Amino acid sequence: MKKRLVAVLAVCLFSIMAVCAAFADAPELPDDNFERLILSVTVGGKSAALSGAEYSVTVDDGSENAAVSVGCAAGATCTVKDEGGNTVTEVAPLCKGARYVIEAKKGSFRDSKNLVVYRQHDFYKAEVTPATCDKPAVYQNVCRYCGTPQGDAFEEGAPDESLHRWGNYVYNNDATSERDGTETRRCEVCGKEDTRVKEGTKLGSEQKPDPGQQETPEPGEQTPDPGEQTPDPGEQQTPEEQPAPEPIEFPDVAEGKWYKEYVDYVSANGLMNGNADGSFNPDGRLTRAEFVQILANLAGVDTTDRNVATEFADVSAGKWFTPAVKWAVDNKIVNGISPTEFKPNANIERQQICTMVVRYATDFARAELPKTADKITFADEASIGNYAKDAVAICQQAEIVNGMGDNKFEPKKEAERSQAAKIITVFHKIINAG
Ligand SMILES: [Zn+2]
Ligand SMILES: [Zn+2]
């Protein structure tokens, strides 16, 4: 340019105005002007800007390729080449800039300019980590062309609950005589617990609660310690020497009911407790395991260590009733239904209660049960199991149990909690007196 300006100035200086006017109409591109061989560059319809030796343009129509055209000086040849030296008519924009070279020639003259074609980032929400059972998915906005991130990764959406890997439901031993028990399963991945009502754990069904743990269940605690609610055995067995323990007031144990005094007694002495909802459920039933636990409470046995085993397949280590059953077996208070089966969740029969309390008295407490009543021959004597005949007679004569009307004993009838409260009250007083 400088040469040309100098030339123009020189001509103007030494020429008249007409000469200057004539120069203005001269051909635009002298053969010796390298600079003007490339007049313009257009990419995807957009003009590239020239800076120094480089044209640059940003296209953002989203297409992979864009047509490139060079405004080439008359008589000149302009070509666009990629980095491999291949002539192209389309360029492929890159976020970081795709580099090309524009070559122009006219006769013996050559010129070249770089061409850099940018495309704008196009960010989209890419999933970095998918949702897990306890965490939402993590996303990151990234450029779909070059992967450049925009901003920080972020959580979005909700955890995918369908991904929990649930273990088996485990019964919580929390049924009461008025409510179904619950069972809980746990996710192996996140530890979440899922608790539902366990069907068939209501009163009279197979699964029954631990009488010792009904009164103060701890939310979330699956293995409450029945022993914690058992008062010190010394207090239980010698109530006469201690300040009178306070009975628990149960809304379903009204004043005037025949069993009120017995419920008061067993609750005050920590022998039987109520349900989590504060009721006693006097008409409810007891399971064999519950009754054994009551006897263990009566004996002041520490049943907190569940890591004990028995010979019964259905009384395995870890169950709430296993320590009490083991204690009862060790002390010859109970036998199984068979050598391998105890049926802890079966409701206890009246004749079974008699056998257990008599064995408790003779084999554990070494107490003789008094014969305060005459021997009764029940009308249904024949239906009493041979194993229980003596025990029923002893219980009847000690007035621990009574007949059920019509001179029947009803040995297989399931004991009601109110009846159990009376039996345990009478028995507890006999044992303590002895
Ligand atoms: Zn990009
Ligand atoms: Zn989970």
In this structure, is residue 382 part of a structural domain?
no
Ligand nearest to the CA of 194: 2
Judged against a pLDDT cut of 50, whether residue 353 lies above it is answered with: yes
Distance from the CA of 161 to the center of ligand 2, in angstroms? Answer: 7
Same-domain status, 73 and 132 = no
pTM above 0.85, yes or no: no
Distance from the CA of 136 to the center of ligand 2, in angstroms? Answer: 12
In this structure, is residue 306 part of a structural domain?
yes
Same-domain status, 44 and 106 = yes
Which range is least confidently modeled, 10-14, 50-54, 379-383, 405-409? 10-14
Check residue 209 and give its pLDDT: 44
In this structure, is residue 90 part of a structural domain?
yes
Same-domain status, 314 and 424 = yes
Judged against a pLDDT cut of 80, whether residue 281 lies above it is answered with: yes
Same-domain status, 280 and 309 = yes
Distance from the CA of 56 to the center of ligand 1, in angstroms? Answer: 17
In this structure, is residue 143 part of a structural domain?
yes
Distance from the CA of 132 to the center of ligand 2, in angstroms? Answer: 8
Say how many domains are in the chain: 3
In this structure, is residue 182 part of a structural domain?
no
Same-domain status, 252 and 153 = no
State the Cα–Cα distance between residues 350 and 420, nearest whole angstrom: 9
Ligand nearest to the CA of 162: 2
Judged against a pLDDT cut of 60, whether residue 283 lies above it is answered with: yes
Same-domain status, 295 and 269 = yes
Same-domain status, 324 and 341 = yes
Distance from the CA of 167 to the center of ligand 2, in angstroms? Answer: 10
Same-domain status, 261 and 328 = yes
Q: Per residue in 313-344, pLDDT tens? A: 889 888 888 999 999 998 889 888 888 889 89
Judged against a pLDDT cut of 70, whether residue 224 lies above it is answered with: no
Same-domain status, 250 and 127 = no
Q: Which domain holds residue 329?
A: 230-348+414-433
In this structure, is residue 237 part of a structural domain?
yes
State the Cα–Cα distance between residues 159 and 115, nearest whole angstrom: 49
Ligand nearest to the CA of 164: 2
Residue at a domain's end among 60, 85, 119: 119
Residue at a domain's end among 86, 119, 152: 119
Q: Which tokens sit at 158?
A: 């909700």
Q: Per residue in 233-249, pLDDT tens? A: 444 444 444 556 788 88
Same-domain status, 288 and 426 = yes
State the Cα–Cα distance between residues 331 and 313, nearest whole angstrom: 19
Q: Per residue in 32-91, pLDDT tens? A: 544 588 999 999 999 999 998 899 999 987 788 999 999 999 899 999 999 999 999 999
Which range is least confidently modeled, 1-15, 196-210, 278-292, 358-372? 1-15
Distance from the CA of 185 to the center of ligand 2, in angstroms? Answer: 11
Distance from the CA of 93 to the center of ligand 1, in angstroms? Answer: 10
Distance from the CA of 91 to the center of ligand 1, in angstroms? Answer: 16
Residues 178, 182, 185, CA angle at the centre, nearest 5°? 180
Ligand nearest to the CA of 124: 1
Judged against a pLDDT cut of 50, whether residue 1 lies above it is answered with: no
Distance from the CA of 141 to the center of ligand 1, in angstroms? Answer: 11
Check residues 257 and 203 and name the one with the higher pLDDT: 257
Same-domain status, 130 and 234 = no
State the Cα–Cα distance between residues 395 and 385, nearest whole angstrom: 14
Distance from the CA of 130 to the center of ligand 1, in angstroms? Answer: 23
State the Cα–Cα distance between residues 310 and 316, nearest whole angstrom: 6
Judged against a pLDDT cut of 60, whether residue 131 lies above it is answered with: yes
Judged against a pLDDT cut of 60, whether residue 19 lies above it is answered with: no
Distance from the CA of 97 to the center of ligand 1, in angstroms? Answer: 10
Distance from the CA of 219 to the center of ligand 2, in angstroms? Answer: 20
Same-domain status, 127 and 112 = no
Ligand nearest to the CA of 149: 1
In this structure, is residue 403 part of a structural domain?
no
Distance from the CA of 207 to the center of ligand 2, in angstroms? Answer: 28
- Smallest Cα–Cα separation from 312: which of 345, 342, 352? 342
Are 353 and 361 a contacting pair, CB within 8 Å? no
Distant-in-sequence, close-in-space partners of 201: CB < 8 Å, separation ≥ 6: 171, 175, 180, 181, 207, 208
